[in-house]
């Protein structure tokens, strides 16, 4: 059985190569996310369901479009990403001291979430075309400028956590593009001590390197007893995860001892959704969420190993790295292993921009998988 659409944008695909297992895992964790969001704050349930439907449509359409055709516009993709970030400074909506949303009246979205996927697409083609140049001083310097330009625009919002995630994903793709150890070794040799010095400077009370609220998040993580008003959200989330024990208190429970029901966790449907998962579904529920995210990331990587070309491999590795890194950071924040960063848990946290763009990324992975039988 074959799916045949336009030759210019799509190819002749074999349905047997469609990775339905990946779709099942993604839909399963998204439905689980909707249930947890409904329990955390029922008012957001219908919007998240709408996001799931939009995401499925986007994923299906993108999965049938030849990724090689899309990557042919990699320069436009990069400029489009910068343009989206630039809209922040014109139509930005300030929320809690940060301007991360673009409000055009008829639509409101978060450009940095979209840029995560756009940067993976751009680098998949750019690093393939310039594979030899990136190991030369000029080529490497130009590559760094192209990577750090959107990161700096994200930092200006300010959004340090998303900047770090984008940087880490780009670093993974650079490494996979056979970046020479002659470049990697000096960067690590200088970078690690420099980071230690920078971190020590950042935690000083009169520092001017990062904004006050970002500094407060870091020091309240290090010294929660000294900054109880700033540390309460993270400390309460740790308590909530532990209080669920093995099987949790149950979704939609009315337990008066619930931190969620007592509003001790603000906006639990977003960045701290894993705290609700731990409290209401317990250790078992947390393991299911972590297991599904791990399987999805691994599935992306496995599909990447069978890609017909290097660009396809980089797309899959990039999406897999994005899901893995962002999940790791979010869960570490909720469990107190990292400072509060404000990152959503992929496919689980409330947020239409995040959900739809993640599904779009999976769509590109599925298209790579559809062409995996056409090896170089």
Backbone dihedral angles phi then psi of residue 268, each to the nearest 5 degrees: -65, -15
Q: What is the pLDDT along the chain (376 residues), one digit of tens a residue?
A: 344 444 456 567 777 778 999 999 999 999 999 999 999 888 899 999 999 999 999 999 999 999 999 999 999 999 999 999 998 888 876 666 667 778 777 678 889 999 999 999 999 999 999 988 999 989 999 999 999 999 999 988 878 889 999 999 999 999 999 888 888 898 889 889 998 998 889 888 888 888 787 888 888 898 888 888 888 888 889 988 888 899 988 888 877 777 777 777 777 888 899 999 999 999 999 999 999 999 999 999 999 999 999 999 999 999 999 999 999 999 999 999 988 887 899 999 998 999 999 999 999 999 999 987 544 4
Residue 245 lies in a domain: yes
Domain of residue 278 covers 27-370
Q: Considering the domain boundaries, does residue 17 fall inside one?
A: no
Strand 13-14 with 92-95, pairing: unpaired
Note the helical H segments in the chain. Answer: 20-40, 45-63, 67-71, 74-91, 111-129, 137-155, 160-176, 181-202, 212-222, 228-243, 273-305, 310-334, 352-370
Tell which residue, 297, 242, 238, 231, has the closest CA to residue 272: 238
In a domain, 336, yes or no: yes
Q: Which residue has the tokens 């790791």?
A: 328
Residue 4 lies in a domain: no
Backbone φ and ψ for 18, nearest 5 degrees, come out as -80, 120
Which two structure tokens, joined as six digits, stand for 359? Answer: 């599904």
Is residue 1, in this structure, part of any structural domain at all? no
Q: Report if residue 363 sits inside a domain.
A: yes
Prior bond of 158 cis (ω within 30°)? yes
Residue 228 lies in a domain: yes
Across 303-318, b (16+ Cβ under 10 Å) vs e yields bbebbbbbbbbbbbbb
The domain total for the chain is 1
Residue 12 lies in a domain: no
């Amino acid at each position: 059985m074959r799916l045949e659409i336009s030759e210019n944008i799509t190819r002749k695909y074999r349905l047997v190569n469609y990775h339905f297992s990946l779709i099942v895992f993604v839909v399963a964790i998204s439905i689980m996310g909707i249930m947890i969001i409904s329990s955390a704050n029922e008012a957001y349930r219908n919007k998240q369901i709408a996001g799931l439907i939009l995401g499925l449509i986007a994923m299906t359409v993108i999965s049938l479009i030849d990724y090689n055709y899309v990557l042919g516009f990699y320069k436009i993709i990069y400029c489009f990403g910068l343009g989206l970030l630039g809209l922040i400074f014109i139509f930005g909506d300030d929320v809690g001291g940060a301007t991360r949303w673009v409000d055009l009246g008829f639509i409101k979205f978060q450009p940095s979430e979209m840029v995560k996927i756009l940067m993976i697409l751009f680098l998949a083609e750019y690093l393939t075309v310039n594979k030899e140049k990136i190991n030369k001083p000029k080529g490497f310097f130009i590559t760094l400028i192209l990577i750090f330009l959107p990161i700096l625009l994200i930092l200006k919002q300010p959004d340090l956590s998303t900047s770090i995630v984008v940087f880490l994903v780009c670093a993974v793709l650079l490494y996979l593009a056979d970046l020479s150890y002659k470049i990697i070794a000096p960067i690590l040799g200088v970078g690690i001590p420099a980071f230690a010095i920078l971190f020590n400077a950042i935690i000083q009370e009169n520092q001017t390197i990062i904004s006050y609220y970002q500094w407060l998040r870091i020091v309240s993580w290090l010294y929660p007893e000294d900054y109880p008003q700033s540390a309460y959200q993270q400390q309460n989330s740790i308590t909530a995860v532990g209080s669920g024990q093995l099987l949790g208190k149950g979704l939609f429970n009315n337990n008066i001892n619930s931190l969620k029901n007592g509003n001790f966790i603000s906006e639990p449907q977003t960045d701290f959704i894993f705290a609700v998962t731990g409290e209401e579904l317990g250790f078992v529920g947390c393991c299911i969420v972590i297991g599904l995210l791990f399987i999805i990331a691994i599935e992306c990587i496995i599909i990447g190993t069978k890609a017909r070309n290097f660009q396809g491999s980089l797309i899959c590795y990039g999406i897999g790295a994005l899901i893995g890194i962002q999940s790791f950071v979010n869960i570490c924040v909720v469990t107190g292993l990292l400072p509060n960063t404000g990152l959503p848990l992929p496919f689980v946290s409330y947020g239409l921009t995040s959900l739809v763009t993640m599904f779009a990324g999976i769509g590109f992975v599925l298209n790579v998988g559809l062409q995996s039988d056409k090896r170089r």
